[in-house]
Chains A and B, each alone.
Chain A
Amino acid sequence: MGHHHVTFEDLPQGGEKFEPAKGGKLIGAFGALGALGLAGSAYFFLFTKDNVFGSFAYSWLFAVFFAFTIICGGCFWIMLHNASNSGWGVAIRRLWEQLANMILPLAILSIPLLIPAVQKPLYEWMNHHREAHHHAVEAGTSVYEALHHMAESNPHLHVLTAKYGYLNIYEGFSWYSRFAFYFFVLWFIASKLRSRSVKQDVDGDIKHTIKARQFSCTWLLFFALTVTFAAVDWVQTLDYAWFSTMWGVYIFAGCAWSSMAVTILLVTWLKSLGYLKQVVTEEHFHLMGKLLFAFTVFWAYIAFSQYFLIWYANITEETRFYLTRNTEGWRYVSIFIVVGHFVGPFLALLSQARKKKPFVMVGVCLWILFMHVVDLYWLVIPERGPSLSVGVTVAGAWIGDVVAFIGVVGTVGFLFLRSLANYSLYPCRDPRLLESANVIN
C-alpha cells in the first residue's frame, strides 16, 4: 500500500493559498478571450439589427445558459456532498463553492435577456403578450382579455390563453419575477454555504459542518425547482407550444455531468501547478471519474426516455421538438450527440485504471465539455432559423455563437480562476478533511 496517512501535521496552517500569477497563462487566456468576446458582443448588441441581431440573441442565450448549467452543477455537488454527509470530497469542496458563487457575475451577463428587443426574436409568446398589452391599454381591458380577443382571429393563441397563469410577463409571479427568483435562490445557497465553510477555516467549529448539512437538505428542493423552472422559462418556452415533464431532469443531468468534468480539469490543473498535493490523491480522481460515469449513464437514461416516449407515442404537440432536431442538417447533430455524449464517454470511463490517470481524464473531460456545448447548442439553436423565418440555419450566425460563447465563458472563467485566490483552496479546518485526504475506495 503506497499510501502515506495524512495528518494535520502534514498540512500547512491555514490551508493553501492560490497565487494567480502561477496560473497566469490560463487566467490570462480566459481574460483575453472574455474581453474580446464581450467587445464583440457589445458590437452585436449595439450596432446590428434585424436578423443579425436576432440571431445573436440566440447566441447569447446559448452562451449564458451553458455557463448557468455549469454553475448550477457546482451548486448541486456541494449540496449533495453536504446533504449525504459525505467525507470524500471535502478536499475539493471549496472549488465547487467558488464555482457556485459565479452565479453573481452570470446574473449580470444575463441582463440582456431582460431587454424586450433581445426577447423579441427569442420568445414569440412575449411578442403576443406585448401586443395584447398594447390592445389592453387602448381598450381599457385586461391583458388576458385582450389575448383572448386576439385568439379569435389567430387560433394558435388559444394555447397562450390556456397557459396565461404561468406564461406571462405582466401579472403575478411573472417570467420577470421568476428570473430574479432563480438568481436569488442560487446566489443565496452559494453564498450561505461558502460563508459557512470560510468561517470554519477561521474558527474550526464542527457545528458549521452540521449546519451546512441541514441547510443543504432544506434547500435542495428549492434548488431542484429553480433548475427545473429556469430551464422551462429560458429554453422550453422558445417554442411556447411544446412541453415535456422530463425537461427539468434532462437539464439537471447535464448540469451535474458537465460541472464534474470542470472539477476534474480544475483539480488536475491545480495539481500541475503544485497545489492540493497532500489532500487530493488518485483515489479522488477515481471517485470523480465514477461520478462522471454515473452521470454519463444517467443523462443517457433521461435523454433516451424523453426521446423514446415522444417518438413512440407520436403525438403532434410533442413531436415538434424532435422533428425540428431530427430533420435536415440537425439529424446529424442528433446522431452525433448519441455517439459523442453517451457511447464515447461511456466506453472511455469504463476502465478503472483510466479513471485514475489524470492526463487521460483531461482528454475525456475536455471532450465531455465539448459535448455539453453541442447538447445545449442543439437545444437552443435549432429554434433560431424557423423563428427568424430564414430556413433551417442562419448563414454566418456561427460567428455570433463563438463571440457570445467566448465572451461569457471567458469572463466567467477568468473571474472564477481569480476568485480561487480569495480563500484557501480547500476547507483547511473541516472536521472531515483528513477523511477526505485519506479516502480509499
Chain B
Amino acid sequence: MSAEAATHSHDHAPAYSGAPRILDREPLVLNNRSYSWITNRICGIVENKQPLLWWILFVPSVLLTGLMAFCFIYLISTGVGVWGQKQPVAWAWDITNFVFWIGIGHAGTLISAILFLTRQKWRTSVNRAAEAMTIFAVMCAGLFPAFHVGRVWMVWFLAPIPNANAIWQNFKSPLLWDVFAVSTYFSVSAVFWFLGLVPDLATLRDRCKPGLRKTMYGIFSLGWRGANRHWSHYETAYMLLAALSTPLVLSVHSVVSFDFATSIVPGWHTTIFPPYFVAGAIFGGFAMVLTLMIPVSKIYGLSDLITPKHIDNMAKIILLTGTIVGYAYSMEFFVAYYSANPFELQTFMLRGLYGPSTWAYYFMFGFNVFAPQLFWYRPFRHNLWVVMLVCMCVNAGMWFERYVIIATTLERHLIPGSWRTYEATWVDKYTFLGTFGFFMMLFLLFLRFLPVIAIGEVKGVLPQSNAHNHDHGKEGVQEEDLMAYPDRHVPREAAAV
C-alpha cells in the first residue's frame, strides 16, 4: 500500500515467526507521483502542442470519414441495392457492423459502472477513455440501422410521436426495442461521461488564461468548486448512474441479441444468446480499450498511470470473457446436437465443417477463444506486443462472430433452392472502413480537447488521499517481490525513490 512498506519488502522473513505477514496491493500509480504531477501530466496533453503522430493519424481519419460520408450519400442517392445483400441474405454487413460497434461500446460502461460498483479502483486510469470510446462507438453503430431503413429522412418514424397517419410503432418488435435500448444507452453513457468530466473540466478551467478556452471550459464545468457538500451529492449521483448503467449494459446487448433470438431461424434462436452477446461485447470492448490505451500511454508518457498491473487486469478480463464466449459457442454446438433438430445441427455443421464460409467460423473461434488463452501465461500479459496482437485478433474475431451469426446463417436457408453465398460490395467495405476513420477522428479530437484520464478520480485512489491511512510498516509484502517474477517491470528500489 505505501511506499515505505514496499522498500522493506525484499528482506524475506522466515515463513512464520510471530506476527503473520500481509499481502499488499500493488500501487495504482507508480513512482509515488504527487497530485500536481498528475494534474500537469494529464492537462499537458490538452494544453501542449500535439505530437506529429497525432497529425499523422488525424489527417487520414478525416479522409476516411469523408469516404464514409461519400458511401452513405451514394447509398441514399442510388438505393440500398448498392449493398451486397440479396435474398435470402437480407441482413449482412450493415447489421454485422452495427452489432460490432455497439459491442465495442460496452466496455466503457463496464469499466465505469461495474468496476465502480465492485470497487475496482484500477478503473480510474482507463475509465474516461473507455467512456469516450463508448460514445463514439455507439455513434458509429447508430449509422448502420439508420441508413438501412432506406429513406433515412423518415428515420423519425422510429420514435413514438403521434402523427397524421395515426400509425403507432409495433412495440412487440425487437427492432423497436433496439431503438429504445440504443438511444437510452447513448443518452445515459453521455450523461455518465459528462458528469465524470465536470471536476476535470474545472481543473482545465483553473489552469487556463482568460480567453475563449477558459470560457468554454468554464461553461461546461458548471461553476464547479470542489465543495464537499457538492461532492456528497455528486458521489451519490455517480453511484446511482453506475447502478443504472450496469443493468443497462446487459439489457442493450440482450436486446440486440433478441433481434436474432426471438426469430425461429436455426442458428439464431437459442436461449443463451442474451448473456452470450453481453459477454462477447465486454470481451470485444476491452480489447478495443487496450488497443487504444496502450499507444496513448506510450505516446503521452502515461505509464505511471496506466501501469503493467492495469494491462494485466484487462488481459485477464479478456481471458475470462473469451472463455465465456467459448463456453457459449460450445453450448450452442452441444444443444444443436442434443436438440435432435436436424436443421439446427445442419446450420452448425455448415458454419463449422462444410459450409461456404467455414473460414469465417475458424477466424471467429481462433481469434476469440484460442488467441486469448495466451494470457494464461504471465509474461505474455506483460509484453505489450503480445497484448496488442491478441487484442487485434479479438477485434477482428468479434467482427467475424457477428458475420458468422448473421450472414453465414442466412446463406444456407431451409430450402436448398434459395441458397446463395453472400458477397460484400465495395460500398459495404468502404463504408465500414470509413466508420473506423470516423471513430478515430472523434477519439483524436477527444485527446486534443478533454482530459484522457480522470484526474480527480486518480488522485482519489492515491494512498495519501485516504484520511485514515493505516501504515502497517514492515509486515507488508507485495506479490511482485514475493514471487520474483522474471518479467517484473518496475524495480521496487527505484519506485521508492
Contacts and interface: CB of A to CB of B under 8 A. Distances in A.
The answer to whether A and B touch in the complex, with CB atoms under 8 Å apart, is yes
Interface of A: 1, 3, 5, 7-8, 87, 158-159, 162-163, 165-167, 203-207, 209-210, 221, 224-225, 228, 232, 241, 243-249, 290, 297, 301-302, 305-306, 308-310, 312-315, 317, 428-429, 431-435, 438, 441
A284 B73 CA distance: 58
B119 interface: yes
25 contacts: A5-B468, A158-B340, A203-B15, A204-B16, A205-B15, A206-B21, A206-B482, A207-B482, A209-B23, A210-B479, A224-B327, A243-B335, A244-B271, A245-B273, A245-B328, A245-B331, A246-B271, A297-B247, A301-B254, A308-B258, A308-B262, A309-B258, A312-B258, A433-B20, A434-B472
A23 to B, nearest CB: 28
Contact of A163 (B332, B340, B468, B479): B340
Contacts of A209: 23
A269 B479 CA distance: 35
A87 B275 CA distance: 27
Interface string B1-36: 000000000000001100111110100000000000
Given A206-B482, A210-B482, A249 B339 contact: no
Contact of B22 (A159, A290, A305, A431): A431
B372 to A, nearest CB: 13
A87 B120 CA distance: 11
A1 B468 contact: yes
Contact of B275 (A158, A163, A210, A305): A305
Nearest to A88: B119
A211 to B, nearest CB: 11
B20 A429 contact: yes
A309 B261 contact: yes
Nearest to B475: A8
Interface centre among B254, B269, B328, B477 (most CB of A within 10 A): B269
Given A1-B468, A245-B332, A166 B337 contact: yes
B262 A309 contact: yes
Given A245-B332, A312-B262, A206 B272 contact: no
B271 A310 contact: yes
Contacts of A228: 331
A309 B472 contact: no
B4 to A, nearest CB: 17
Contacts of B479: 210
B337 A309 contact: no
A1 B469 CA distance: 13
Interface string B112-125: 00000101000000
Contacts of A203: 15-16
Given A221-B323, A243-B339, A432 B275 contact: no
A429 B23 CA distance: 11
Interface in B321-350: 323, 327-328, 331-332, 334-335, 337-341
B15 A7 contact: no
A441 B273 CA distance: 34
Given A249-B275, A301-B274, A309-B261, A5 B482 contact: no
B23 A246 contact: no
B263 interface: yes
B270 interface: yes
B269 to A, nearest CB: 5
B272 A245 contact: yes
Nearest to A205: B15
Given A246-B272, A305-B271, A434-B22, A163 B16 contact: no
Contacts of B497: none
B264 interface: yes
B483 interface: yes
B250 interface: yes
Nearest to B323: A221
A253 to B, nearest CB: 10
Contacts of A245: 270-273, 328, 331-332, 335
Given A1-B468, A203-B15, A245-B270, A313 B264 contact: yes
A87 B121 CA distance: 13
Nearest to B16: A204
Contacts of B470: 5, 438
A7 to B, nearest CB: 7
Contacts of B472: 7, 434
Given A166-B337, A317-B339, A429-B16, A309 B273 contact: yes
A434 B470 CA distance: 11
Interface string B461-492: 00000001010100001010011000000000
Contacts of B334: 166
Nearest to B332: A245
A249 B25 CA distance: 32
Given A243-B335, A243-B338, A301 B20 contact: no
Interface centre among A5, A163, A301, A438 (most CB of B within 10 A): A301
A97 to B, nearest CB: 18
Nearest to B331: A245
A338 B310 CA distance: 40
A278 to B, nearest CB: 15
Contacts of A247: 271
B338 A163 contact: yes
Contacts of A165: 337
A315 B339 CA distance: 12
A225 B20 CA distance: 37
Interface string B245-287: 0010010001000100111100001111111000000000000
